[in-house]
């Protein structure tokens, strides 16, 4: 049973088992000392995305290194629903706001892509991963989403596992709403979302998407949403329609 006040959490890429000693990296010691403000002999919760959540005690801690003694498992690893998000990265801080929110909502895989109207062509992978880890630590999630290397949209879809059916949020679609799709296609493995750039996909790209029988275009309503708003809205609808009913 967890304490009334939840322990502060740390994600580490290390095997966890009772009575084991975990050596901390410089970045982790900095995070524990300056962000979590935990000191030696205090308790901390750790998870690695595979073996659930464990309670430990800070054995030693300085500016460059530290050690945690793992005491006991406090929560088993939960089985998560597979949810994929394909999106064109957004300019500025809003990109990392989006990664934070979709991590909190439970996305499994994040696929950044380049389209003809992409605002940015480069993707700060290291910063995106750090953002997703921080969001998992804060939200109580037991895993961290996998962020894939950025690819051209068409190249990604040409190698896509077609069993993972995709919802394409199309601002030009007028008739088919999100909820209508699940009434007619509920038996199929719809677990993925495709969010285009601000300004939408080009005509060539839309024609390409329409030819793929594992992609379904839907409307999110009459208003034109910004990319981050569309992604969070669509993800919430997908979770509600598919996993909460």
Higher pLDDT, 46 or 118: 46
Tell whether pTM > 0.95.
Answer: no
Q: Which two tokens stand for residue 54?
A: 């464990």
Question: Which CATH number fits the domain that encloses residue 47?
Answer: 2.40.240.20
Question: Would you say 67 and 59 are in contact if contact means Cβ atoms under 8 Å apart?
Answer: yes
Of 19, 44, 75, the residue that ends a domain is 75
121 in the same domain as 188: yes
150 in the same domain as 99: yes
157 in the same domain as 113: yes
- Secondary element (H or E) of residue 148: none
Question: Which CATH number fits the domain that encloses residue 126?
Answer: 3.40.1280.10
224 domain residue, yes or no: yes
Instruction: Please state the domain count of the chain.
Output: 2
**Is the confidence at residue 2, as pLDDT, over 60?**
no
52 in the same domain as 122: no
227 in the same domain as 141: yes
152 domain residue, yes or no: yes
Of 49, 75, 101, the residue that ends a domain is 75
2 domain residue, yes or no: no
Question: Would you say 239 and 193 are in contact if contact means Cβ atoms under 8 Å apart?
Answer: no
Question: Would you say 79 and 96 are in contact if contact means Cβ atoms under 8 Å apart?
Answer: no
222 in the same domain as 126: yes
Q: What is the pLDDT of residues 206-231, one digit of tens each?
A: 899 989 989 988 888 778 788 899 99
Question: Residue 182 — pLDDT band, cuts 50, 70, 90?
Answer: confident
Pairing of strands 21-24, 66-75: antiparallel
DSSP per-residue string spanning 140-192:
T-SS-PEEPPPEEHHHHHHT--TTSEEEEE-TT--S-BHHHHHHHHTTS-EEE
4 domain residue, yes or no: no
199 in the same domain as 97: yes
> Given this model, what pLDDT does residue 241 score?
81
- Supply the range of the domain harboring residue 176: 84-242
Of 75, 104, 123, the residue that ends a domain is 75
Tokens 């957004």, residue located:
90
1 domain residue, yes or no: no
117 domain residue, yes or no: yes
210 in the same domain as 108: yes
Q: Which two tokens stand for residue 36?
A: 């979590």
133 in the same domain as 43: no
């Amino acid at each position: 049973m967890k304490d009334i006040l939840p322990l502060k959490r740390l994600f580490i890429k290390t095997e966890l088992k009772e009575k084991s000693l975990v050596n901390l990296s410089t970045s982790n010691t900095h995070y524990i000392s300056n962000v979590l403000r935990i000191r030696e002999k205090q308790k901390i919760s750790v998870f690695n995305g595979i073996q659930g959540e464990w309670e430990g005690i800070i054995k030693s801690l300085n500016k460059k290194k530290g050690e945690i003694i793992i005491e006991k498992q406090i929560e088993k690893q939960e089985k998560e629903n597979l949810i994929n998000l394909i999106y064109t990265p957004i300019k500025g801080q809003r990109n990392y706001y989006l990664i934070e929110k979709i991590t909190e909502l439970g996305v499994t895989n994040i696929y950044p892509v380049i389209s003809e109207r992409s605002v940015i062509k480069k993707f700060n992978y290291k910063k995106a991963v750090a953002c997703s880890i921080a969001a998992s630590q804060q939200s109580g999630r037991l895993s961290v989403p996998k962020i894939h290397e950025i690819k051209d949209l068409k190249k990604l879809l040409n190698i896509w596992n077609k069993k993972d059916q995709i919802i394409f949020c199309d601002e030009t679609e007028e008739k088919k709403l999100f909820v209508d799709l699940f009434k007619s296609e509920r038996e199929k493995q719809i677990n993925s979302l495709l969010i285009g750039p601000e300004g939408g996909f080009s005509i060539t790209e839309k024609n390409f998407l329409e030819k793929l029988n594992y992609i379904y275009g839907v409307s999110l309503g009459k208003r034109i949403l910004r990319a981050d708003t569309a992604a969070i809205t669509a993800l919430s609808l997908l979770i509600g329609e598919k996993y909460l009913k």
